[in-house]
Amino acid sequence: MAQWMKKRKSRGFTLVELLIVIVIIGILAGSLLLVMGSGTDKANATKVVSDMRTLKAAQLMYYADNDEFATDIDDLTTYVDRTPDGGALGEYSATATSIVFTADDTGGGFQSRLDAMAPAAGVVKSGDIYSMSL
């Protein structure tokens, strides 16, 4: 009997040990997803602010060439290297006095990050509409 116990003990991990390892890996993976989601929200908010600055510069170049402001984002495509696309986040538009971003995202993460970044970037918020004056 003693020999059998010795062999059994040295064969591998017990079921309890394996379950504990799986639970620990699950906890670590869950915390990693929370951290990555927060980073994605901040990256999207930074992208929106950057796109608004790019469109503002394009609007000013358009004005310098045409003595009027563009009223359609498509008119600004020759002045930017990449046309900003809000995608699932929202939609960009241009007026004679500002660049406007209308947010489609009703979830808290992205808009809360954008709300925090807006004052420092010169973006004014009104509901789900963010605008940057020219």
Structural domain count, the chain? 1
Domain hosting 109: range is 41-133
Give average pLDDT by consecutive 10-residue segment, the chain, 134 residues. 58 87 92 78 87 90 90 85 80 87 74 86 87 87
- With respect to residue 20, please indicate whether it lies within any of the assigned structural domains: no
pLDDT of residue 106: 61
Distances (CA, A) of 13 to 6, 23, 42, 66: 14, 15, 42, 75
- With respect to residue 103, please indicate whether it lies within any of the assigned structural domains: yes
Closest by alpha carbon to 47, among 97, 107, 121, 134?
Answer: 121
Rounded to two decimals, the pTM is 0.70
- With respect to residue 21, please indicate whether it lies within any of the assigned structural domains: no
- With respect to residue 5, please indicate whether it lies within any of the assigned structural domains: no
- With respect to residue 119, please indicate whether it lies within any of the assigned structural domains: yes
